[in-house]
Structures are given as C-alpha cells and as structure tokens.
Amino acid sequence: MREFEKNIRKVEPYVPGEQPQKKVIKLNTNENPYPPAPGVLAAMKKLEGHVDSLRLYPDPTSDTLVSALADFYHVGKDQVFVGVGSDDVLSMCFLTFFNSEKPVFFPDITYSFYKVWADLYRIPYECKKVDENFHIIKEDYYPENGGVIFPNPNAPTSIYEDLEFVEDIIRHNQDVIVIVDEAYIDFAGESALSLLDKYDNLIITQTFSKARSMAGMRIGYAIASPLLIKYLNDAKYSFNSYTMNKTSLVYGAEAVKDKEYFAETTRKIVETRDWAEEEFKKLGFVFPKPSANFIFVSHPEYDAKELFEAMKAKGIYVRFWGSERIEQYLRVTIGTREEMEALFAFLREYMM
C-alpha cells in the first residue's frame, strides 16, 4: 500500500440498480411508468427560448420550488429544504444531524444507502433486525441512541406502518433527530407530516422520483421545523450553494402544481399493484403486503437468482440483492398494466 493511501477516506459505495441503455421492461429501480405532469413539457418548451439564462447561476434559495412545495403541503417556506434527489437531502441530514458518539439506529433490511452515508461520515450505527415477516420492531428503537432513520413504507419490503406506530418511535426518541424517509408514501397511507406540529425533532423526506415521475430530474425535499431546516441550509451553503439547477426548479414547481395528474397516475399504479398482487399469488409467490410502487416477492420452489437471470435474459429487469435474509427475494417495480402482463406471461411460461 502506498503511504498516501493511509489518509484517503475510503468507503464501500452504494450500488444503484442498472440503467440499461437498450429498451427493456424496466421494473428494477422503482421509477414511475407514466410521464411527468403535462405542465412540465410546456415549461420545457418555454425554457427553450431562454438559453441565455444559463449564463447565470440559479437561485441559491430555490425559492420557486420551495414555495410550490410549501403551498402544496400547507407549511411555511422556512420548513422546506430541497436537494438533488432525496439521496442528497438524506446525505445532508446524516452529515448535519447524526453527530453523536452514540449509534444511529435503522433497520437491518432497509434502504442500503443509510449504511453507506454512516460509513462515509464515520457515524456509528446499529442495524435493528426486522422480525421474521420483515416488520420493524418498534421497541428496538427505545434504547438511547444518536438518532433514528427508517423509511415508511420500508424498502425493499414495501411494508407500511401506520401513523400510531411511527409516532410511538418518535415519542420514545425526543432527544435525538428522527428521520422518516417517505420516498414511497404517496402509494401508501397517511404521511407523518401531521406530526410535525407535535415533534420538533422530526424530519420527513420525500422525492420527485417516484409518484411525481421525475427520477431523471433529481429533486428531493425535507420538511421539518424552521430550526432544523436552518441547520440543513447552513450545511448546504457550506458544501455547495447551488445544488438545484435552473431547469429542476422550474419543472419541479410545475409538477407540484398539477394535483389532479399526480392523484390520477398514483391511483393507476396502486390499481395495477392490487391486480399484480393477485397474479403473483396465483403463481404461488409469497410477499409482505405491498404499500409502495413495488412488491417484494419470493417463491418457495424457484431460486430467486436463477429467476432474476432468466428474466433479465428476456429483457425484463427486476432487482435482486442476494444479501443476508433476502437471498430468495426479488423486488419488482409496478410498471404499466402492459409491462406487468408481459412479466406474468414470462413467469407462467417459466413455471410450466
């Protein structure tokens, strides 16, 4: 090893799902199968005539987008923080709020990026085992800790816990920051937003990548008390003042404004999910009750890795990790009805 290697900050990186450049049935990264709201295309056309504006830096406060989100969620502008996808927002939250010697708690089966940020920022952490049905055990989060984070619905399990459950964890952790990662909440149930008035240590993060069909634009946000948002902005301005580019500010605001389109596409995905659940059941798959735009399936008679590879060979991409406790599981994103029909046609043939 060269001498300089000793002082390099090394980390085992997060591995994102594949983004194949050929046309496939893409059910591997929980993207939305429908296009963004029509207002986004209109804004795109309008911007075409303003290429000169790219000479200038974007608004560092991201006011257009922050205002649109504050209106939508009926919170103050000083309660909204935006970033380059919720990954950026969550990373900033880890850096800003998880600064204790005590370990941060999160589930063992969860979004695998949490562990990576903790490692990157040298934050101690403890993974709390979910139960045999993949449910978070809330009592595990009662002991003293340096902060808590969990997604609701959880990923990759798609399990949603109700508000009472979420509140119980927050109530037991009022001396630390609790982050509820609601990347998939629009496909599930009630958001923890209503708890913000009661708990000033709560941060909720959400994204434009799933229900708002804009994974390619990279927009995420946090909603919390003005004090916590101030701390996040202080960290952001110490890192990169211009995180959000000009187009993402305009397109993001347009997407938020169209409440009907958002409700309609989300409803279609939930409908396809309900139907897909039945189809998976008919084929003998088992899975926890899904509440996000994906289903976490396993089959008692077919090896998950072999199935994953067979699907991939036919141009159907789903997600497989092969990691501890979930070796026999595949995460299947809900696509259009037609994409799902193709998936089930393949599975029926494979299982003949």
Rounded to a whole number of angstroms, the minimum distance from the CB of residue 227 to ligand PMP is 24
Q: Which residue's CB atom is positioned nearest to ligand PMP?
A: 85
| Residue 317, helix vs strand vs coil | strand
The smaller minimum CB distance to ligand PMP, of residues 299 and 331, is found at 331
Rounded to a whole number of angstroms, the minimum distance from the CB of residue 18 to ligand PMP is 13
Q: Is 181 in the site for ligand PMP (CB under 6 A)?
A: yes
Token pair of 283, please? 């084929």
Q: Is 215 in the site for ligand PMP (CB under 6 A)?
A: yes
Token pair of 169, please? 């964890």
DSSP string for residues in 38-67: HHHHHHHHHHHTTGGGGGSPP-TT-HHHHH
Q: Which of 28, 64, 145, 209 binds ligand PMP (CB under 6 A)?
A: 209
The smaller minimum CB distance to ligand PMP, of residues 103 and 153, is found at 153
Q: Which of 207, 225, 266, 272 binds ligand PMP (CB under 6 A)?
A: 207
Q: Is 155 in the site for ligand PMP (CB under 6 A)?
A: yes
CA–CA gap between residue 311 and residue 313 (Å, rounded): 5
Rounded to a whole number of angstroms, the minimum distance from the CB of residue 151 to ligand PMP is 4
CA–CA gap between residue 321 and residue 330 (Å, rounded): 8
**Segment 217 to 236, residues that bind ligand PMP, using CB under 6 A:** 220
User: Counting runs of H as helices and runs of E as strands, what totals does the chain give?
Assistant: 10, 11
DSSP string for residues in 145-204: -SEEEEESS-TTT-----HHHHHHHHHTTTTS-EEEE-TTGGGSS--GGGGTTT-TTEEE
Rounded to a whole number of angstroms, the minimum distance from the CB of residue 212 to ligand PMP is 10
**Segment 69 to 98, residues that bind ligand PMP, using CB under 6 A:** 85-87
- Calculate ∠ Cα 83-87-93, nearest 5°: 75
Binding site for ligand PMP (CB under 6 A): 85-87, 111, 151, 155, 181, 183, 207, 209, 215, 220
